Amino acid sequence: MTDHELVQKIRERLAVIDQQALADFDELAKRCADKRENSPPIPLSAPPEEAFAGSFMDEHDYPTDAALDKIEHWPTNAMEHIPPLFEFVRSLGWETYGTWRETALMEGDCEMLRVVASTGGWAGNESLISALQQNRTAWSLTWQSSKRGGQFVFEIRR
């Protein structure tokens, strides 16, 4: 077999392989589409008001483990879940120690809220920030910067 004949034979085999690969890919795409159509929809509404119900501060006015767990596992499968999460975090601290400043911003056509939260060194605020940091999706979508001394800057789409 000459080199030219060998190259031609390889090309013919590759054409068959390419056709089979395309057919396999089409089948996989169809299966994925069928699974998406048959799966339950992801809820896109904000967490209900019940998310704020209950006592989330202990007898010493520190956030309870239940509060911290709620922050860590707050649903973040839609952008509208993020502002209520930050409202919840703010409701548990920053009244006596630290500061929480909010500033409305426009980024193109998008309305944003910049939050500058300083823990004031209070362990309660520090634990709230740590719980928020454990909510990886919320943290990665909002965190902008941190400074030594406990200052955190977040930007939240509204």
Q: Residue 42: in which H helix or E strand, if any?
A: none
Higher pLDDT, 158 or 42: 158
Spatial distance between the Cα atoms of 125 and 63, rounded to a whole number of angstroms = 8
* Backbone φ/ψ region at 16: left (φ over 0), alpha (ψ -120 to 50), beta: alpha
pLDDT above 70 coverage of the chain, percent = 71
| Amino acid identity for residue 97 in this structure | Y
| Tokens read off for 30 | 């169809």
Q: Is the pLDDT of residue 36 over 90?
A: no
Average pLDDT of every residue of the chain: 80
All structural domains of the chain with their residue ranges: 1-39, 49-157
Sheet architecture: strand order including 99-107: 99-107, 110-118, 151-157, 143-147
Helix ranges (H only) for 2-122 are 3-38, 65-72, 82-91
Spatial distance between the Cα atoms of 57 and 62, rounded to a whole number of angstroms = 5
Average pLDDT, integer, range 153-158: 91
pTM of the complete model: 0.66
Least confident of 9-23, 32-46, 80-94, 111-125: 32-46
